[in-house]
Amino acid sequence: MHPRLLPVALVPALLLTACGEESAEVGEEASTSVNYVALGDSYASMGSRSAALDEPPFCLRSADNYPSQVTADQTTDVSCQGAVVETILGPRTTDTGTLPPQVDALTPETTLVTLSVGGNDIGFGDISACILRAADSGQPTDCAAELEERIRGELAALPAELDELYRVIGERSPEAEIVATGYLPLTIAAYELTKKSGFYDKNPGTDIAVEQMIVKTTDKSRGVRLGNFLQIRDVIHEEMETLFAGNQTAEQALDRMTTRGNDLLARFERTARD
């Protein structure tokens, strides 16, 4: 088992390069098979908004997410939005059924594992919601005071949980290389604090994804701004779950998604700045 940490934006390119180089290097002596398993949360499962979704729809596992871009002889993608260490190691109950543990996809033949987990374990959704509430209200909000005590406790517990996860992966797939893909800071202040701590100096390249996100743009290059996307995604989840449970029709679900989504977009419009 060989864990590595890579910046999110570089994972597809580096994996493609690594796989290609390995194949060329050993091609004359033996055939090397890359048996790839993707584990993790929405940072792994989600791709573009227009791409088709794999089953189950609850996981928002996109056909063009980064696991789908990795060159491998066999790919098994079990990543799922909202995943935590507990639901990678164990089953996950949803309104539409029970998902098996993600680690069940691992076998002794697995040679490559990507892992994106930990953000939801420390309340990523609550952190981002607090920041967005502050932006929406236009009033000072002390998210650190509101969440710090709980997050510190969850952060203190997380290393042991991750150690157990790595142990299980190594036990099930002893020959696998594990690539931990990491997360982007939620705010510029968080990025600057991480930079000041020396993290990026100790882990060269892990700041590339952040730099790409905050680069200065023009009206010709800034692309699409997805206002309040996380909240709108949650609305879609909630209405789809209610639909799948048989408690509303498809037309009602779409109408409620539209109404609630438009309300969130209107709130974003009132607070967004050029």
User: Mind listing the domains of the chain with CATH numbers?
Assistant: 2-183 (3.40.50.1110), 229-271 (no CATH)
| 127-173 pLDDT tens trace | 888 878 877 777 777 887 888 888 889 989 999 999 999 999 999 99
Question: Residue 16 and residue 1: Cα distance in Å, rounded?
Answer: 20
- Integer angstrom CA distances of residue 175 from 2, 143, 241: 8, 42, 38
Is the Cβ–Cβ distance between 79 and 63 less than 8 Å? no
pLDDT in tens, the chain (274 residues): 555 544 444 444 334 333 434 433 444 444 578 999 999 999 999 988 778 888 888 999 998 899 998 988 999 999 999 999 999 999 999 888 899 999 999 999 999 999 999 999 988 888 888 878 877 777 777 887 888 888 889 989 999 999 999 999 999 999 999 999 878 887 788 889 999 999 999 988 888 888 887 877 777 666 666 677 878 888 999 899 899 989 999 999 999 999 999 988 888 777 665 5
User: pTM higher than 0.75, yes or no?
Assistant: no
Token pair of 237 as six digits: 């989840």
